Amino acid sequence: MWKYVAIAVIAALFGFFSWCSHRPMHHGNGIIAPDAPAQEAIKDADSFQYEGYTIKPLASFKLKARVLSRKRYRFDLGAELSPIDLALGWGLMSDEAVLNKLKISQMARFFYWETDGNLPKPYEQICANASNMHMIPANKYIRRTLFKVRPGQLISIEGYLVSVTGKNGMIWQSSLSRTDTGRGACELVWVEKASIG
């Protein structure tokens, strides 16, 4: 009997720790990440090899954004290279007054938002101020930082938007626009610097 009690206690502690480490953070109403991502095209950049993949930088990329949602991937084709997606918001999509009227989720490498009533802001503005980003950590320290991030936190990222070719003929290319939607609209980010807060 004590064996089952111990297992139950360990499971409860693990669940509590997991909840604490991933629970959303709140800041109150107001924009907390005012600036859109900064991007500059790179012409004729040299490709480099990483874990059996060929990575070609397309543009330098830098942003400070609010984490709207996070999704860990383990088993899809891209999981080995990009183990986590972050749905990020800036401008009006970093304002809790707007976010409280939206339901945000991630699935199958996409991020979704919906509302039960009227849109809090025009559709085009919502789309232009948020994006789902596939993160490729450049090293184990960046990987740890990305895995620690919680919804509601601010994260600063520097790196490159990239295209990737690799195993089994895989081709994966970043969007270079913040206003596109649907398939191909996500950013594929080679992350060289990441900090929370």
Given pLDDT bands bounded at 50, 70 and 90, which one contains residue 2?
Answer: low
pLDDT at 167: 75
- Residue 15 — very low, low, confident or very high, per pLDDT cuts 50/70/90? very low
Residues 50-80 pLDDT 10s:
999 999 999 999 999 999 999 999 999 899 9
Within the chain, residue ranges assigned H as helices are 2-22, 96-99, 123-128, 140-148
Mean pLDDT of 140-157: 97
> Percent of the chain having pLDDT more than 70?
87
d(CA 164, CA 183): 16
- Residue-wise pLDDT for 83-115, tens only, equals 999 999 999 999 999 999 999 999 999 999 999
pLDDT at 137 over 80: yes
Average pLDDT in the chain: 89
22 pLDDT tier (thresholds 50, 70, 90): low
d(CA 110, CA 14): 28
CA distance 196 to 90: 15
Which DSSP state fits 116? S
Average pLDDT of the segment spanning 108-133: 94
Two tokens, residue 74? 């383990």
